[in-house]
Amino acid sequence: RTMSDSIIEKNNPMAPYYWAQKEMGEKEIPGSKDNPRIVWYHSFTTLKATDDETPWCSSFMCAAAESTGFKSTKSARAKSWLDYGIPGDGSVGDIAIFTREGGGHVAFVNKKFTKGDAVVNCLGGNQSNRVKVSDYDSSRLVGFRRFSNEI
Protein backbone atom coordinates (compact mmCIF):
# COMPACT_ATOMS: atom_id res chain seq x y z
CA ARG A 1 0.00 0.00 0.00
CA THR A 2 1.47 3.33 -1.03
CA MET A 3 1.26 6.65 0.79
CA SER A 4 -1.27 7.98 -1.73
CA ASP A 5 -3.44 4.86 -1.25
CA SER A 6 -3.55 5.45 2.50
CA ILE A 7 -4.57 9.09 1.98
CA ILE A 8 -7.51 8.12 -0.24
CA GLU A 9 -9.49 6.03 2.23
CA LYS A 10 -13.20 5.56 2.52
CA ASN A 11 -14.85 7.99 4.96
CA ASN A 12 -11.87 10.38 4.83
CA PRO A 13 -13.60 13.67 3.91
CA MET A 14 -10.40 14.80 2.14
CA ALA A 15 -10.35 11.77 -0.18
CA PRO A 16 -12.52 13.31 -2.94
CA TYR A 17 -10.27 16.40 -2.98
CA TYR A 18 -7.13 14.25 -3.33
CA TRP A 19 -8.84 12.31 -6.13
CA ALA A 20 -9.71 15.62 -7.86
CA GLN A 21 -6.08 16.77 -7.69
CA LYS A 22 -5.12 13.73 -9.77
CA GLU A 23 -7.64 14.79 -12.44
CA MET A 24 -5.97 18.18 -13.03
CA GLY A 25 -5.62 18.95 -16.73
CA GLU A 26 -8.58 16.92 -18.01
CA LYS A 27 -10.30 19.18 -20.53
CA GLU A 28 -12.97 19.40 -23.16
CA ILE A 29 -12.05 18.54 -26.74
CA PRO A 30 -13.12 21.35 -29.11
CA GLY A 31 -15.39 20.35 -31.98
CA SER A 32 -17.40 17.19 -32.44
CA LYS A 33 -15.14 14.89 -30.37
CA ASP A 34 -15.69 14.44 -26.64
CA ASN A 35 -13.24 13.69 -23.84
CA PRO A 36 -14.23 10.19 -22.67
CA ARG A 37 -13.13 11.03 -19.11
CA ILE A 38 -15.65 13.90 -18.93
CA VAL A 39 -18.37 11.67 -20.38
CA TRP A 40 -17.43 9.18 -17.62
CA TYR A 41 -17.91 11.93 -14.98
CA HIS A 42 -21.45 12.39 -16.36
CA SER A 43 -22.16 8.68 -15.79
CA PHE A 44 -22.35 9.39 -12.04
CA THR A 45 -25.44 11.62 -12.50
CA THR A 46 -29.02 10.81 -13.41
CA LEU A 47 -28.63 13.10 -16.46
CA LYS A 48 -25.94 10.82 -17.95
CA ALA A 49 -24.93 13.35 -20.62
CA THR A 50 -22.87 11.89 -23.45
CA ASP A 51 -20.79 14.91 -24.48
CA ASP A 52 -18.21 17.21 -22.90
CA GLU A 53 -20.14 20.42 -23.67
CA THR A 54 -22.94 19.77 -21.15
CA PRO A 55 -22.01 21.60 -17.92
CA TRP A 56 -20.02 19.11 -15.87
CA CYS A 57 -18.89 20.70 -12.59
CA SER A 58 -21.43 18.70 -10.56
CA SER A 59 -20.74 15.53 -12.58
CA PHE A 60 -17.07 15.94 -11.62
CA MET A 61 -18.01 16.27 -7.93
CA CYS A 62 -20.23 13.18 -8.15
CA ALA A 63 -17.38 11.20 -9.72
CA ALA A 64 -14.98 12.41 -7.00
CA ALA A 65 -17.37 11.41 -4.23
CA GLU A 66 -18.33 8.00 -5.57
CA SER A 67 -14.78 7.11 -6.65
CA THR A 68 -13.65 7.52 -3.04
CA GLY A 69 -16.48 5.71 -1.27
CA PHE A 70 -18.90 8.57 -0.63
CA LYS A 71 -22.48 8.96 -1.74
CA SER A 72 -23.09 11.84 -4.13
CA THR A 73 -26.10 13.93 -5.10
CA LYS A 74 -26.25 12.03 -8.42
CA SER A 75 -27.37 15.38 -9.86
CA ALA A 76 -25.87 17.41 -12.70
CA ARG A 77 -27.24 20.52 -10.92
CA ALA A 78 -24.53 22.38 -8.99
CA LYS A 79 -26.91 23.72 -6.36
CA SER A 80 -27.95 20.15 -5.46
CA TRP A 81 -24.83 20.17 -3.25
CA LEU A 82 -26.38 22.76 -0.90
CA ASP A 83 -28.25 19.97 0.90
CA TYR A 84 -25.43 17.41 0.76
CA GLY A 85 -23.30 16.04 3.59
CA ILE A 86 -22.64 18.19 6.62
CA PRO A 87 -21.94 21.94 6.94
CA GLY A 88 -18.43 23.05 6.01
CA ASP A 89 -16.48 26.13 7.06
CA GLY A 90 -14.31 26.88 4.03
CA SER A 91 -11.51 24.47 4.90
CA VAL A 92 -9.42 22.89 2.15
CA GLY A 93 -11.39 20.00 0.65
CA ASP A 94 -14.80 21.44 1.53
CA ILE A 95 -17.44 21.76 -1.18
CA ALA A 96 -18.07 25.36 -2.28
CA ILE A 97 -21.36 26.17 -3.99
CA PHE A 98 -21.75 29.37 -6.02
CA THR A 99 -24.55 31.12 -7.83
CA ARG A 100 -24.13 32.24 -11.42
CA GLU A 101 -26.41 33.51 -14.12
CA GLY A 102 -28.45 30.57 -15.35
CA GLY A 103 -27.49 28.23 -12.52
CA GLY A 104 -24.58 27.58 -10.25
CA HIS A 105 -21.09 26.17 -9.86
CA VAL A 106 -19.65 23.64 -7.43
CA ALA A 107 -15.98 22.94 -6.67
CA PHE A 108 -13.51 22.05 -3.92
CA VAL A 109 -12.05 24.71 -1.63
CA ASN A 110 -8.36 24.72 -2.58
CA LYS A 111 -7.09 27.30 -0.05
CA LYS A 112 -8.63 27.95 3.38
CA PHE A 113 -11.36 30.59 3.05
CA THR A 114 -11.81 33.14 5.81
CA LYS A 115 -14.88 35.36 6.07
CA GLY A 116 -14.03 38.66 4.40
CA ASP A 117 -11.79 37.12 1.71
CA ALA A 118 -12.59 38.60 -1.70
CA VAL A 119 -12.25 35.26 -3.51
CA VAL A 120 -12.60 31.55 -2.88
CA ASN A 121 -9.73 29.59 -4.44
CA CYS A 122 -11.24 26.42 -5.89
CA LEU A 123 -10.18 23.22 -7.63
CA GLY A 124 -12.97 21.97 -9.83
CA GLY A 125 -14.24 20.57 -13.08
CA ASN A 126 -15.53 22.70 -15.95
CA GLN A 127 -13.51 25.73 -14.87
CA SER A 128 -12.61 27.27 -18.24
CA ASN A 129 -13.62 23.89 -19.76
CA ARG A 130 -11.05 21.91 -17.75
CA VAL A 131 -10.12 20.60 -14.31
CA LYS A 132 -8.08 23.40 -12.80
CA VAL A 133 -7.71 25.87 -9.95
CA SER A 134 -9.62 29.17 -10.25
CA ASP A 135 -10.66 32.05 -8.02
CA TYR A 136 -14.37 32.77 -7.58
CA ASP A 137 -15.79 36.03 -6.24
CA SER A 138 -16.88 35.35 -2.67
CA SER A 139 -20.01 37.47 -3.22
CA ARG A 140 -21.30 34.57 -5.38
CA LEU A 141 -20.73 31.99 -2.62
CA VAL A 142 -23.95 30.41 -1.33
CA GLY A 143 -22.53 27.76 0.99
CA PHE A 144 -19.91 25.27 2.10
CA ARG A 145 -20.56 21.58 2.69
CA ARG A 146 -18.32 18.67 3.71
CA PHE A 147 -18.28 15.08 2.51
CA SER A 148 -19.96 12.65 4.89
CA ASN A 149 -21.73 9.32 4.68
CA GLU A 150 -23.24 9.83 8.12
CA ILE A 151 -26.52 11.25 6.82
Between CA 67 and CA 82 the distance in angstroms is 20
Pairing type for strands 130-137 and 95-100 reads: unpaired
Question: Can you give the pLDDT at residue 78?
Answer: 98
Q: What is the pTM of this model?
A: 0.93
In the chain, which stretches have pLDDT less than 50?
1-6
Question: Can you give the pLDDT at residue 52?
Answer: 98
